[in-house]
Structure 1
Amino acid sequence: MGEKAVAGGFDLSDRHRYRQRLRECLAGLERLLEEKRFDRPQNLMGLEIELNLVGGDGMPRMMNSEVLERIASPDFQTELAQFNLEVNIAPHRLADRVLDQLAEELRTGLWYADRQAREVDAGIVMIGILPTLTAADLVSANLSEVDRYHLLNQQILAARGEAIRLDMRGVEELTYTTGSIAPEAACTSVQLHLQVTPGRFADVWNASQAAAAVQVALGANAPFVFGRELLRESRPELFLQATDTRPPELRAQGVRPRAWFGERWVTEPLELFEENIRYFPALLPLCSDQEPLQVLDAGGVPELSELVLHNGTVYRWNRPVYDVAGGVPHLRVENRVLPAGPTVTDVVANAAFYYGLVRSLADEQRPVWGRLPFDGAAANFAAACRDGIDATLVWPGRRRLGGVARVPAARLVRDELLPMAAAGLDAWGVDPADRDRYLGVIEGRCRRRVNGASWQSAAYHRALDRGLDRGAALAEMTRRYVELTRTEEPVHSWPVD
């Protein structure tokens, strides 16, 4: 439906009808759950990566339409801005040599796409936020020529009723006012999907929430926004502010933002879909022709199109997903916390750690969410965004029953979570050679205390020390980053000079 959207606005009846359809979709989802209509366990995972187009000078290139024409593959699609692309990897079964298979598919696809793009001086790079992006790049005129993006921009600004103000503080400070959601396009991520049965959904979602901070600490790769050094992983805060439909008065009242960590552990999947409807007004009230309850009454499987569309405009860092494949409905957890890059090796290592750790956490007899307050998980997420691999997190202590301890993220991973991730990959049936290769990358990051964000910051400051000004230092660091990504050596092994 979003593909067919046109920026013509909506009237009152559209919103009333859409709200009613959302209630019908929720009732349809509840019936599907009660009737046990969902797909059997398949251990399927999927992967999406958002990409940047950058020239040989390290600056963004606003030409995704031209590059996509040259790539000519359905695996590559537009994203929000003209310097963005997205690549989608087909679902894989979590077993055997799946990690090496993913790495080979990604390398082949990205190598081909990069070769096509470089013929027009627009190479492809995986990075959380392109350091050389400026405020002048992130304007409405540079949104991709797709109706749904312009409609989303219009509706977020209309809901807010005023310009968007960015106010971010980290190593440095950034304040900026914009009349567009285009700064959201700076945030490029890796999205990891895991298909789960309804009975396992809550455990996997809760485990993903508990693991989110550790993922960010290990994988942070977005320390710069508009040339300012901010948080080690600035992407979540920038995304939150760039899509915020709340004026200051509603923020003061405690109204929830659309980019949301959440506020509690859950016991069933319906809770998250119901919260999305209860707390967040529709941004794109587009109704399909399908009547979901009538389809159910006739013995069919409804698409629940309105619920799916609305769900896609609530930006949870671990998002619940309903989908239908081959006429059978299924549920997925979409993990959205990781930035893109730096290399395919790093991306697959991050995926290996996530899938292994979540499996072990979800299988525990005394689950972590029974011992870690949800507020503690949210505070961990904020700390990981701020400090990256140097973050200190709270985690349930093994020696004190019911207590939590403060522990450096790198030590927590090496001492406790890496063995759990290895056991989880074993439980999935992943080949030991793949397991050891990619978890070894995570161990190397922890041992050297280096990830994408810390490398970017060190290389930038080294350039400043050589006498370059801010803009030149960022451009040089970005060019060097792009060169090193093509070596496929993991980021913790990169030289700074």
Structure 2
Amino acid sequence: MGKQFDTHTFTRQDRQHYREKVRRCLDVFALMLNDFAFDSDKPLTGLEVEISLVDDDANPAMVNADVLARVDDPMLQPELGRFNMELNVAPRLIAGDGFDDYRRDISGRLARAEQSASEIGAHLCLVGTLPTLREEQTGTEALSRGERYHQLNQQIIQARGEDLSIDIRGLERLTTMTDSIVPEAACTSLQFHLQVAPDAFADTWNAAQAVAGVQCALGANSPYLFGRELWAETRIALFEQATDTRPAELKAQGVRPRVWFGERWITSIFDLFEENVRYFPPLLPILDDEDPEHVLAAGGVPKLGELRLHNGTVYRWNRPVYDIMNGRPHLRVENRVLPSGPTVADMVANAAFFYGVVRQLCEQDRPIWTQMTFSSAEENFHTAARDGIESRLLWPALGEVSATELVLRHLLPLAYQGLDEFGVDPAVRDRLLGIIEGRCRTGLNGAQWQAETVAKLEDDRQLDRQQALSAMLQRYCEHMRGGEPVHTWPIG
């Protein structure tokens, strides 16, 4: 969720000064894009994994502060809800055995965190939406410690001017009102970062947008919320609605939502930052002391703190990032499409597929975004969120095609080629993309396994929904700790 800050009451003057400073930062960023040397010699990748905490009965465990104090790992941080944590994995190259390095690092850190959590009766769970979370557990008392989360909650509710409405229509329907953004904490995601040169950013972002629906179909892992079976990737709809600052009247006027797929293919990263400044009022108007024009004129690297903070409160599914590492600025695409889990093996396989396909799509003579309308890419994304691995998607030259056929016949070969371009070891490449292939051939991903297992528990053991969800999640966590990819898990 970004950096923490001290208690602060925002004034009208704060918002005015912040808006002015953001625009100054945007002007400086434009100058930097024209003639500044960004770090892109050896593009790094990065991963973030959000985690839920559950107790021995697979119910939410509101103990993230206690777990974090015990594990003492600087790469683990609290997330929005007291039953959430986030693991930030150090960036690295994926050439050679880089993906195996990711797997070892993530597995080791999660194992140590699990050991610490188990000492106080809690366990880690990698799942897109926490199936056992109940509505009455999503009041403001469930917010993590830290002023940022409380300020963010206050500012979103204040901007909206009324309670938030959640209305998700899937296999079943959920309709409810909430006076906080805590329901969003039910969502835990897997985020990929890909560092790119300024002149390659637009192609990379466009490619990531084009395949977002495919990613969602393959990796869906969020079929349940508040006891109801909704979308295969309910997390998408929940995140869009639980942070929506627009009352009904502004929606009717076409005001853009803060959780946003976008509306067009781009030609520069500047397009996205400029849209953020033009369309979205500030939520957290925290001013930095930096004078970005002075820093740039003196030959330094501006932090552009206000622009970066504002960017962090516009929740694009593929977000542009400006950052500084070791004194050098760089740009990256932050891919936020996928849910957490089900296993480390599945998540690393998802990463390999994403990086490989996006790289190869950027190499094509006739890019996919010149053949596909942006509205088709957005429609694919929401279709995949609803229907998961069983979805049918629109693709140039193919028309409407099943997601699994699209991957097996067209996109997996591109992923192989893209990973070869990255220099990934062939044995690592084959093992990871073999997991994606296995998912397609069995039709079994996290969402499908959860739904089929709950149905079996309800039918065979005559459990009610809440009992079935608890029993399912306990089995899910056992398989998760076992580490075998989800498409190999037995149903029930």
TM-score class, shorter-chain normalisation, is: over 0.9
- Give 1:335 shift: 0.2
TM score, norm. by length of structure 1: 0.98
- Which residue in the other structure is 1:439 paired with? 433
- Give 1:315 shift: 0.2
Taking the aligned partners of 2:166 and 2:303, their CA distance within structure 1 comes to 37
Which residue type is aligned with residue 140 of structure 2?
A: S
Taking the aligned partners of 2:476 and 2:394, their CA distance within structure 1 comes to 32
Q: Deviations over 1:300-353 (max 9, x none)?
A: 110000011000000000000000111111000000000000000000000000
2:476 is matched with which residue: 468, 481, 490?
481
Q: Deviations over 1:398-418 (max 9, x none)?
A: xxxxxx511000000000100
- Which residue in the other structure is 2:55 paired with? 55
Taking the aligned partners of 1:29 and 1:421, their CA distance within structure 2 comes to 33
- Which residue in the other structure is 2:404 paired with? 410
- Give 1:101 shift: 1.1
- Which residue in the other structure is 1:344 paired with? 344
**Number of corresponding residues:** 490
Which residue type is aligned with residue 445 of structure 2?
A: N
Taking the aligned partners of 2:41 and 2:51, their CA distance within structure 1 comes to 31
2:172 matches 1:178 = no
Which residue type is aligned with residue 439 of structure 1?
A: L
Taking the aligned partners of 1:303 and 1:469, their CA distance within structure 2 comes to 54
Taking the aligned partners of 2:41 and 2:317, their CA distance within structure 1 comes to 24
Q: Matches of residues 200-279 of structure 1 in structure 2 within 5 Å?
A: 200-279=200-279
2:444 matches 1:450 = yes
- Give 1:458 shift: 0.3
- Which residue in the other structure is 1:32 paired with? 32
- Which residue in the other structure is 1:320 paired with? 320
Which residue type is aligned with residue 177 of structure 1?
A: M
- Which residue in the other structure is 1:190 paired with? 190
Which residue type is aligned with residue 395 of structure 2?
A: W
Show structure 2 runs of 5+ residues with no match: none
Taking the aligned partners of 2:180 and 2:261, their CA distance within structure 1 comes to 23
Taking the aligned partners of 2:94 and 2:479, their CA distance within structure 1 comes to 29
Taking the aligned partners of 2:348 and 2:261, their CA distance within structure 1 comes to 24
- Which residue in the other structure is 2:126 paired with? 126
Q: Deviations over 1:66-104 (max 9, x none)?
A: 000111010100000100000011011120001111111
Taking the aligned partners of 1:357 and 1:181, their CA distance within structure 2 comes to 34
- Which residue in the other structure is 1:307 paired with? 307
Q: Is the 8 A contact 1:198 1:331 kept in 2?
A: yes
2:385 matches 1:396 = no
- Which residue in the other structure is 1:152 paired with? 152
Taking the aligned partners of 1:40 and 1:238, their CA distance within structure 2 comes to 35
Taking the aligned partners of 2:344 and 2:213, their CA distance within structure 1 comes to 21
Query: Which is worse superposed, 130-139 or 337-346?
Result: 130-139
Q: Is the 8 A contact 2:404 2:441 kept in 1?
A: yes
TM score, norm. by length of structure 2: 0.99
2:422 matches 1:421 = no
Which residue type is aligned with residue 220 of structure 2?
A: A
Taking the aligned partners of 1:470 and 1:390, their CA distance within structure 2 comes to 23
2:41 matches 1:41 = yes
Q: Is the 8 A contact 1:47 1:192 kept in 2?
A: yes
Taking the aligned partners of 1:10 and 1:125, their CA distance within structure 2 comes to 37
- Which residue in the other structure is 1:470 paired with? 465
Taking the aligned partners of 1:2 and 1:407, their CA distance within structure 2 comes to 42
Secondary structure, aligned partner of 2:302: coil
Taking the aligned partners of 1:453 and 1:411, their CA distance within structure 2 comes to 19
Taking the aligned partners of 2:99 and 2:327, their CA distance within structure 1 comes to 28
Show structure 1 runs of 5+ residues with no match: 398-403
Q: Deviations over 1:190-224 (max 9, x none)?
A: 01000000010000000000010000000000000
- Which residue in the other structure is 1:3 paired with? 4
- Which residue in the other structure is 1:374 paired with? 374
Taking the aligned partners of 2:487 and 2:170, their CA distance within structure 1 comes to 23
Q: Is the 8 A contact 2:394 2:401 kept in 1?
A: yes
Secondary structure, aligned partner of 2:176: strand
Q: Is the 8 A contact 1:51 1:124 kept in 2?
A: yes
- Give 1:2 shift: 4.5
Which residue type is aligned with residue 411 of structure 2?
A: L
- Give 1:119 shift: 1.1
Query: Which is worse superposed, 432-441 or 94-103?
Result: 94-103
Secondary structure, aligned partner of 1:73: coil
Q: Percent identity between the aligned chains? A: 54
2:74 matches 1:79 = no
Secondary structure, aligned partner of 2:4: helix
Taking the aligned partners of 1:150 and 1:36, their CA distance within structure 2 comes to 37
- Which residue in the other structure is 2:486 paired with? 491
Q: Is the 8 A contact 2:165 2:241 kept in 1?
A: yes
2:285 matches 1:285 = yes
Q: Deviations over 1:147-206 (max 9, x none)?
A: 000000000000000000111100000011110000111110001000000010000000
Taking the aligned partners of 2:457 and 2:176, their CA distance within structure 1 comes to 26
Secondary structure, aligned partner of 1:486: helix
Q: Is the 8 A contact 2:40 2:195 kept in 1?
A: no
- Which residue in the other structure is 1:400 paired with? none
Secondary structure, aligned partner of 2:52: strand
Q: Is the 8 A contact 1:383 1:391 kept in 2?
A: yes
